[in-house]
Amino acid sequence: MTIMRLTTALILIAALGSMVGCSKPKAPESQSAGIEAAKPAPLAEASPMAQKPGLWEMTTSVPGMPAGLVSKLCVDQGLSERMVEVGMKGTGDAQCTQSNIVKTGTTVDVDSVCQMSGRKVTSHIRMEMISDSEYHQTIAATMEPPLSGDGKSTTTVIGKRLGDCPVDMKGGDMTVPGGMKINMYDALNKSTTH
């Protein structure tokens, strides 16, 4: 796998992960912060994916890769819902057998175990909503057997809503480093038909 394909794959994973927990639910006034133990939230509660429609910029950092890989994604309501649906099932040859979502305040933690290209991938995604226009995400993954080194990687993503999508981008359009433009609807449809 070339560096560009790996970079693009990581950005797509970050985009998928950003949809899991992108809404910023308000805690009930009577709830005391930190007193109640976090419980797994039902899927419908944990991922209604109300990521604010518009143009989102995602700055992705991966050790050993060029710093600050920037991609832009035009999000609409349909894309949010489709990405969550696909993210929970796995894409292409990825088959996820375990998935646990825990929502605590403005933070969502997603743990999953998937089989992908003959490898077991165990991941933990932590998404923290800073506001309805910004999130921070960390993706820690372990691949067995590893592609290289010890098979562990940590990816960080900072997502910011820039405003409305420009006229030359429709819902699902994404630009990735190197200038390549893809449509996430098309990519998701292809990944679920294999």
Asked, for residue 58, whether it belongs to a domain, the answer is yes
Asked, for residue 33, whether it belongs to a domain, the answer is no
Asked, for residue 31, whether it belongs to a domain, the answer is no
**Cβ–Cβ under 8 Å, residues 164 and 55:** yes
Asked, for residue 32, whether it belongs to a domain, the answer is no
Q: What is the residue-level pLDDT of the chain in tens, covering all 194 positions? A: 333 444 445 455 555 555 544 433 333 333 333 333 334 333 334 343 356 899 999 999 988 787 788 999 999 888 867 766 665 555 555 677 777 888 898 898 989 898 888 889 899 999 998 888 899 999 999 999 988 788 898 999 999 999 999 999 999 999 988 889 999 888 877 765 55
Asked, for residue 29, whether it belongs to a domain, the answer is no
Q: How many structural domains is the chain composed of?
A: 1
- Domain containing 118: what range? 3-24+39-192
pTM: 0.71
Asked, for residue 117, whether it belongs to a domain, the answer is yes
Q: How far apart are the C-alpha atoms of 119 and 40, rounded to whole Å?
A: 27
Asked, for residue 108, whether it belongs to a domain, the answer is yes
What beta strand segments (E) does the chain contain?
A: 54-61, 69-75, 95-104, 107-116, 119-131, 134-144, 152-163, 173-175, 181-183
Asked, for residue 52, whether it belongs to a domain, the answer is yes
